[in-house]
Every structure is written in structure tokens, then in C-alpha cells.
């Protein structure tokens, strides 16, 4: 059975803040790990994108363990400096690409707190 748009929206919305709800919905449909929602106006967001700009590391790690695809914004929040450097080396313009809701890459890194401090330093260094 296909996942409904309403279920995808509920899942991505929960990924902003509610690990228990994410676990519950993911246990019912594991394809939600990569569900994408268009909130309108081209504002596309995955559950991984949602928890990345809100700094919800535990949700991101749970999603990644269940098949979510790593992206630049999640790597920044999680403090994956080598991945951020590699992605920006491959596509330097991505430093300025907006994430979900137009949120900047640096803001995602800052949401990661101390564990992503090296990414924040890298992004603000101009390297």
C-alpha cells in the first residue's frame, strides 16, 4: 500500500522534534525514512532535513540507521567535517544553497552544537 501524503507530512513534521513518533511511524512503514514533502513554493523537506535544522541528532542518527540518505545539511549538523569538505570540494556553490525552509548550511551546522563546532569553524573560515 502506498504511503499517503498526509502520513509523509506527519512523519516529516514529527522529525523536527519527536523521536518517539518518528520511531512509531517508521515501524509501520520503513519507506518513510526517505519520504519527501513539498510544503509549497518548492520548499522540499525530508525527515532528515527536518531534524538537521532543529539540531535533533538522535532523530538523525535513528533515520540514518534505518536507511535515510545522508545529505550535506545533515552532515553539517552531525559534525561530519570530512563529508562536508568532500561535498563542497565537489560542488563549491553548495555552500550557498538553501536547505529546507531556506535555512542556510551554516545554521544547520550551528544547530549541531559542540559536536559540529569544527564544521562551523570550517564554514566560517572561508576555506
Domain count, the chain: 1
Strand partners, 44: 38
Q: Is 29 exposed, middle or buried (CB count within 10 Å of its CB: 0-12, 13-18, 19+)?
A: middle
Angle CA(116)–CA(121)–CA(126) in degrees, nearest 5? 135
Over the stretch 66-120, which tens digit does the pLDDT of each residue have? 999 999 999 999 999 999 999 999 999 999 999 999 999 999 999 999 999 999 9
pLDDT score of 1 more than 60 = no
pTM, two decimals, is 0.93
Question: Minimal CA–CA distance to 57: which of 12, 115, 102, 119?
Answer: 115
Mean pLDDT, range 7-21, rounded to an integer: 97
pLDDT score of 126 more than 80 = no
Cell numbers found for residue 112: 549541531
CATH number at residue 15: 1.25.40
Mean pLDDT, range 5-18, rounded to an integer: 96
Mean pLDDT, range 34-52, rounded to an integer: 95
Domain region containing 121: 5-125
Over the stretch 45-64, which tens digit does the pLDDT of each residue have? 999 999 999 999 999 999 99
Phi/psi region, residue 62 (left: phi>0; alpha: psi -120 to 50; beta: rest), is alpha
Give me the pLDDT at residue 127, please. 65
Give me the pLDDT at residue 62, please. 98
Question: Which is more confident, 3 or 2?
Answer: 3
Query: Cα separations (Å) of 116 from 1, 78, 81, 83, 100?
Result: 39, 6, 8, 12, 19
Question: Which is more confident, 111 or 3?
Answer: 111
Amino acid at each position: 500500500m502506498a504511503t499517503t501524503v498526509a502520513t509523509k507530512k506527519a512523519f516529516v513534521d514529527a522529525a523536527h522534534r519527536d523521536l518517539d513518533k518518528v520511531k512509531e511511524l517508521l515501524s509501520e512503514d520503513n519507506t518513510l525514512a526517505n519520504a519527501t514533502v513539498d510544503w509549497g513554493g518548492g520548499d522540499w523537506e525530508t525527515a532528515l532535513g527536518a531534524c538537521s535544522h532543529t539540531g535533533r541528532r538522535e532523530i538523525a542518527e535513528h533515520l540514518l540507521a534505518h536507511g535515510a540518505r545522508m545529505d550535506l545539511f545533515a552532515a553539517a549538523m552531525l559534525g561530519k567535517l570530512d563529508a562536508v569538505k568532500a561535498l563542497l570540494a565537489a560542488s563549491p556553490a553548495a555552500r550557498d544553497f538553501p536547505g529546507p525552509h531556506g535555512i542556510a548550511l551554516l545554521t544547520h551546522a550551528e544547530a549541531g552544537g559542540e559536536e559540529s563546532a569544527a564544521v562551523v569553524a570550517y564554514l566560517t573560515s572561508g576555506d
